[in-house]
């Protein structure tokens, strides 16, 4: 069994971006500028946004964090996004999810300029992804594909089971893995809450992508010997023995599954860092398409 170290793989990507940025800066090229919008004070969101800002600093990007009260109106938030859409100094815009109940995430996503949608959630970018056209791929699925590439994991002709059908991870993963890319060409099965034989389907998988948000859902009896396990889950579980009062758990029972599989991602330290690395690549691409190259 080999650990798919997301910290190591993401660092390699960030180091490559940092080197390229230094070369471009020496030529007087513009620096990519990412603007993150954080609405409210959700603890997990605070952590995610801080990681994104730190990554920007590390690779040499400019970043701006806009903090807004949880009570902000939808109209005011949309006005801020529209201003950023027309700001020539801004290359990438992301609005950290989840949003307060009174704000429609769909409306917010649809308002972001597709050319600055570095989260890859705008319908235009999703449609281009489905068609296999160049676009911004949602950061977590993109990060997983980069991780598979980093470790040279063969996907061609393999059976991949994606557990979870969210628009953020499950559905995009099924599209990317079944596509005609270097790490695609899989036969893909999507499982969800209405799938009756999940355990049986998982046992038939060469690759399992667990992305349903249920701690420890994938157990040893659901995994075939030698399978590749990608754990996207990251849930805070109450734990009185920890100083923080909680522990981070993935969707896979790591202790029982890891001895049986060929590759597995840890939680934390697996998919999470790759999501950040993918966001950096998307932000670079948004700037590059404007200032550096015709295609990235």
Q: Please pick, among 91, 113, 117, 119, the residue that the annotation labels catalytic.
A: 119
119 part of the active site: yes
With beta carbons less than 8 A apart as the criterion, state whether 227 and 259 touch.
Answer: no
Strand partners, 66: 37
96 part of the active site: yes
Rg (CA), the chain: 19
Q: Residue 213 is encoded by which pair of tokens?
A: 């948000």
List strands edge to edge, sheet with 92-95: 62-68, 33-39, 92-95
With beta carbons less than 8 A apart as the criterion, state whether 143 and 11 touch.
Answer: no
Q: Please pick, among 14, 52, 281, 285, the residue that the annotation labels catalytic.
A: 52
243 part of the active site: no
Strand partners, 248: 236
Tell how strand 159-163 and strand 187-191 pair up. parallel
How far is CA 116 from its chain centroid?
16
Q: Please pick, among 14, 91, 96, 285, the residue that the annotation labels catalytic.
A: 96
Catalytic residue ranges = 52, 96, 119
């Amino acid at each position: 069994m080999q650990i798919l170290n997301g910290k190591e793989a993401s660092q390699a990507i960030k180091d490559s971006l940092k080197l390229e940025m230094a070369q471009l800066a020496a030529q007087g090229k513009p620096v990519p500028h990412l603007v993150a919008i954080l609405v409210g004070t959700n603890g997990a969101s605070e952590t995610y946004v801080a990681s994104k800002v730190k990554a920007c600093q590390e690779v040499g990007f400019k970043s701006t964090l806009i903090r807004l009260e949880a009570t902000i109106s939808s109209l005011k938030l949309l006005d801020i996004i529209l201003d950023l859409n027309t700001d020539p100094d801004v290359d990438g815009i992301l609005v950290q999810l989840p949003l307060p109940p009174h704000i429609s995430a769909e409306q917010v996503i649809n308002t972001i300029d597709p050319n600055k949608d570095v989260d890859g959630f705008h319908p235009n970018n999703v449609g281009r992804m489905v068609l296999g056209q160049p676009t911004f791929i949602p950061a977590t699925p993109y990060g997983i594909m980069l991780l598979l590439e980093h470790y040279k994991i063969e996907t061609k002709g393999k059976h991949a089971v994606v557990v979870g059908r969210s628009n953020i991870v499950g559905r995009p993963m099924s599209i990317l893995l079944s596509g005609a890319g270097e790490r695609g060409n899989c036969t893909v099965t999507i499982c969800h809450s209405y799938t009756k034989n999940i355990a049986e389907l998982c046992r038939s998988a060469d690759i399992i992508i667990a992305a349903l948000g249920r701690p420890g859902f994938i157990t040893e009896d659901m995994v075939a010997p030698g399978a590749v396990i990608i754990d996207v889950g990251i849930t805070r579980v109450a734990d009185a023995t920890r100083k923080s009062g909680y522990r981070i758990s993935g969707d896979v029972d790591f202790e029982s599954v890891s001895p049986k599989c060929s590759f597995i991602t840890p939680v934390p330290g697996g998919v999470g860092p790759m999501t950040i690395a993918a966001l950096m690549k998307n932000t670079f691409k948004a700037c590059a398409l404007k200032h550096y190259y015709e295609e990235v």
